[in-house]
């Protein structure tokens, strides 16, 4: 059986209802595709703690677990692994997101979300998010 890969992802929503998407840099798997900021859970970490850490590392913003609302999840084969990825929505954070890891950032209107090129696991999430917002 494939090993579970736990990844926490976050839809940051601004005051205009736009969603922050990040483009994976060259050299990483899924390079060039648009994804939700986030990353793998470290050993013993909760999804919320992983996201608070990843958002600081990737975007230089600060948020906290109580600002992360569960919204949807993806369950999808990913190479030798099976990806299980909860998607949280966050509307409250400190700082302005900056691309600290060479990724391109874009604020996207909810109607435009599903037109972006995304990893397979993200496509149903984008549709759910569009209908949720």
- Give the interface with ligand 8GT as residue ranges (CB under 6 A): 7, 9, 28-30, 35-36, 38-40, 78, 83, 119, 121-122
The nearest distance, CB 24 to ligand 8GT, in angstroms, is 6
Q: Which two three-digit tokens encode residue 94?
A: 């400190």
Q: Which two three-digit tokens encode residue 103?
A: 């990724």
The nearest distance, CB 30 to ligand 8GT, in angstroms, is 4
* Residue number, 67 or 118, with CB nearest to ligand 8GT: 118
The nearest distance, CB 67 to ligand 8GT, in angstroms, is 18
Give the Cα-Cα-Cα angle 78, 83, 87 (nearest 5 degrees): 130
| 3-class secondary-structure state, position 53 | helix
CA atoms of 24 and 96, how far apart (whole Å): 19
- Whether residue 69 contacts residue 90, with contact meaning beta carbons closer than 8 Å, is answered with yes
Q: If you search the block for the tokens 């700082």, which residue do you land on?
A: 95
* Residue number, 17 or 102, with CB nearest to ligand 8GT: 102
The nearest distance, CB 102 to ligand 8GT, in angstroms, is 11
Could you tell me the end-to-end alpha-carbon distance of the chain, in angstroms, rounded to an integer? 36
* Residue number, 35 or 48, with CB nearest to ligand 8GT: 35
* Residue number, 4 or 65, with CB nearest to ligand 8GT: 4
């Amino acid at each position: 059986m494939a090993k579970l890969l736990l990844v926490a992802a976050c839809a940051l929503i601004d005051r205009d209802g736009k969603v922050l998407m990040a483009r994976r840099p060259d050299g990483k798997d899924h390079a060039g595709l648009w994804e939700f900021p986030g990353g793998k859970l470290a050993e013993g970490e909760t999804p919320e703690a992983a996201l608070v850490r990843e958002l600081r590392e990737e975007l230089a913003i600060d948020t906290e677990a109580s600002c992360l609302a569960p919204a949807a999840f993806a369950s999808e084969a990913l190479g030798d692994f099976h990806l299980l990825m909860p998607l949280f929505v966050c509307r409250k954070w400190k700082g302005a997101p900056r691309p600290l890891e060479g990724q391109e950032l874009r604020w996207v209107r909810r109607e435009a979300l599903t037109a972006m090129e995304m990893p397979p696991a993200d496509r149903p999430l984008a549709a759910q998010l569009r209908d949720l917002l």
